[in-house]
């Protein structure tokens, strides 16, 4: 069925939600290629299709839409007097000292999904190296030579490095989620409830209170106010929540890898101590979770 559906192109799809033409929680109506059948799919289903066909991660495309909405709204505020004036009115209702252009937060850090993929690859390579060492030792009937000692020391060092990078990534993701929560979330929620009619009240008030000369200088028009301007803010709130969910997934996945690596490290460390091999690098500054699953007794690692 996927091949039969006439999906939106990526740019058109993102543009609809950036401009508030579509609401994220509403189903999307799409037709098949021959336009003989209509399907109703969710925003996420369509988004995942675009990720697959464009080789994009869900995290990256969500961040792209988030940035586009921010840029679009800030441009509307700067270019349209009535939009800016009405948002300033709502800001005052919350007793905030804030410029309308600054209703969105600037993140201190960002996270590329490829960093997660790279870390996962390093972990799998490390596990593969441990299994290779185990097979080597078994084939030699546990006769430890210098090559095996060198390999053991290398794996031990790489294991420590991998754990350090895992903890660093987890810490960064936790900070990103904290920064992702809008400082003025309550203001954005309020604006998501304000339709174009609310902004038009500001237009009427401004027109009644301004002189003919002032009106000539004001290039803003009511037609420049998006029909569903409240939906833009609503979509933004939904995007933030979806990003949080994706970041939480990455944190959980990294914590699982970190936990699995603890048991492997202990096996490596036990062999190092048993063979009296000293490594210049230790886990002194890296915490080890003691609640790891017991390894199969038939495996060294």
How confident is the model over 33-67, as pLDDT tens digits?
888 889 999 999 999 999 999 999 999 999 999 99
Question: Average pLDDT in the 7-21 region?
Answer: 96
7/133 same-domain check: no
210/235 same-domain check: yes
Give the angle 263-265-266 at the CA atoms, nearest 5°: 65
161/259 same-domain check: yes
Query: Is 3 part of any domain?
Result: yes
On whether the CB atoms of residues 233 and 191 are closer than 8 A, the answer is yes
Contacting residues for 89 by C-beta, under 8 A, at least 6 apart: 202
Query: Is 100 part of any domain?
Result: yes
**Domain tally for the chain?**
2
In sign, the C-alpha dihedral spanning 9, 15, 21, 25 is positive
Among candidate residues 41, 56, 71, the one where a domain is terminated: 56
151/170 same-domain check: yes
4/122 same-domain check: no
139/256 same-domain check: yes
39/104 same-domain check: no
CA 137 distance to own-chain centroid:
43
Task: Give pLDDT tens digits for 80-93.
Answer: 888 998 999 999 99
- φ/ψ of 47, rounded to 5, equals -65, -40
Look at residues 223, 231, 298 and name the one whose alpha carbon lies nearest to residue 73.
Answer: 231
108/171 same-domain check: yes
Give the angle 41-47-26 at the CA atoms, nearest 5°: 40
- φ/ψ of 6, rounded to 5, equals -90, 85
Q: Which residue has the tokens 């799998």?
A: 124
- φ/ψ of 278, rounded to 5, equals -95, 135
Look at residues 102, 152, 97 and name the one whose alpha carbon lies nearest to residue 129.
Answer: 152
222/114 same-domain check: yes
Neighbours of 88 (CB within 10 A): 16
Query: Is 110 part of any domain?
Result: yes
61/47 same-domain check: no
The upper half-sphere exposure of residue 266, i.e. CA atoms within 13 Å in the direction of its Cβ, equals 15
When comparing pLDDT for 203 and 299, which is higher? 203
Query: Is 99 part of any domain?
Result: yes
150/16 same-domain check: no
When comparing pLDDT for 276 and 155, which is higher? 155
Question: What is the predicted pLDDT for the residue at 45?
Answer: 95
Tokens of 175: 């900070």
106/197 same-domain check: yes
Question: Average pLDDT in the 120-149 region?
Answer: 74
On whether the CB atoms of residues 287 and 167 are closer than 8 A, the answer is yes
The C-alpha atoms of residue 184 and residue 102 are separated, in whole angstroms, by: 10
| Alpha-carbon distances of 21 from 4, 6, 123, 240, rounded to whole Å | 25, 19, 43, 18
Tokens of 196: 């174009």
Query: Is 287 part of any domain?
Result: no
Query: Is 296 part of any domain?
Result: no
Tokens of 270: 């036990």
Query: Is 36 part of any domain?
Result: yes
Residue 156 lies in domain: 57-274
Q: Would you say residue 2 has pLDDT above 70?
A: no
Average pLDDT value over all residues in the chain: 83
Query: Is 128 part of any domain?
Result: yes
pLDDT cut 90: percent of the chain above it: 52
pTM score of the predicted model: 0.83
């Amino acid at each position: 069925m996927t091949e039969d559906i006439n999906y939106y192109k990526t740019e058109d799809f993102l543009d609809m939600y950036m401009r508030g033409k579509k609401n994220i929680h509403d189903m999307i109506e799409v037709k098949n290629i021959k336009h003989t059948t209509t399907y109703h799919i969710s925003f996420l289903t369509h988004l995942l299709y675009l990720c697959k066909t464009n080789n994009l991660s869900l995290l990256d495309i969500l961040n792209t839409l988030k940035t586009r909405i921010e840029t679009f709204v800030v441009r509307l505020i700067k270019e349209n007097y009535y939009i800016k004036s009405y948002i300033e009115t709502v800001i005052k209702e919350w007793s905030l000292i804030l410029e309308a252009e600054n209703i969105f937060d600037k993140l201190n850090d960002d996270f590329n999904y490829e960093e997660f993929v790279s870390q996962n690859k390093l972990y799998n390579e490390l596990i593969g190296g441990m299994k290779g060492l185990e097979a080597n030792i078994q084939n030699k009937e546990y006769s430890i030579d210098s090559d095996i000692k060198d390999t053991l020391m290398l794996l031990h060092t790489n294991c420590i490095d991998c754990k350090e990078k895992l903890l660093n990534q987890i810490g960064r993701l936790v900070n990103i989620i904290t920064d992702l929560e809008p400082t003025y979330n309550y203001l954005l929620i309020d604006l998501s409830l304000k339709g174009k009619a609310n902004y038009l009240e500001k237009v009427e008030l401004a027109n009644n209170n301004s002189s003919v000369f002032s009106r000539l200088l004001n290039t803003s028009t009511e037609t420049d106010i998006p029909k569903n301007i409240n939906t833009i803010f609503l979509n933004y709130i939904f995007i933030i929540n979806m990003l949080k969910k994706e970041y939480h997934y990455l944190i959980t996945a990294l914590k699982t890898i970190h936990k699995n690596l603890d048991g492997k490290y202990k096996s490596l460390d036990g062999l190092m101590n048993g063979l009296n091999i000293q490594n210049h690098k230790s886990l002194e500054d890296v915490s080890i979770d003691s609640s790891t699953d017991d390894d199969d007794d038939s495996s060294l690692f």
